[in-house]
């Protein structure tokens, strides 16, 4: 290592900048955010319940989203060895902190829905 990372503010360190962008890209997608929100509110849920909550997600996408989240250490997947199978998902501590970080975005969106709709209407009017 050529330099002390503590010389740089976290988000300006060129070593992590690319990684951060990549992680943001991974995590900032519709379904991930929704799963995060749902698990935050409802705690541990089994696959089918989670799917029902996700309104319109396909089984494929939910599985895919959960796998990626598990890989990133955001959720814990618990398989209960019973028949029929029962698999439950809950957030890790890391997942909880991410949900917390995103919380501000949800609040922002809820708070500014009207203004955004108005802006869109005005924009579409001019065109």
Partner DNA sequence: CCGTATCCCTGGCGATACTG
Partner DNA sequence: CAGTATCGCCAGGGATACGG
Residues that bind its own copies in the complex, under the rule CB under 8 A: 10-11, 13, 16, 19-21, 23-25, 27-30, 33-34, 70-73, 94, 97-98, 100-113, 115-120, 123-124
CA 91/CA 74 separation, integer angstroms: 6
CA 35/CA 2 separation, integer angstroms: 40
| Residue closest to 53 by CA, chosen among 71, 66, 37 | 37
Task: Work out what residue 61 binds among DNA, its own copies, none; the CB cut-off runs from 5 to 8 Å by kind.
Answer: DNA
**Residue 80 has which token pair?**
């209960």
Q: Per-residue string for binding with DNA, 4-43, x by CB under 7 A?
A: ----------------------------------------
């Amino acid at each position: 290592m050529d330099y002390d990372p503590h010389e740089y503010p976290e988000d300006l360190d060129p070593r992590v900048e690319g990684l951060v962008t990549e992680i943001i890209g991974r995590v900032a997608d519709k379904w991930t955010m929704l799963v995060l929100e749902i698990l935050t509110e409802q705690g541990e849920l089994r696959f089918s319940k989670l799917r029902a909550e996700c309104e319109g997600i396909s089984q494929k996408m939910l599985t895919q989203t959960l796998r990626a989240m598990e890989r990133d250490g955001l959720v814990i997947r618990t398989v209960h060895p019973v028949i029929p199978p029962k698999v439950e998902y809950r957030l890790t501590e890391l997942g909880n902190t991410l949900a917390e970080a995103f919380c501000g975005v949800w609040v922002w969106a809820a708070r500014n829905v009207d203004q955004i709709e108005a802006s869109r209407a005005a924009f579409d009017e001019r065109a």
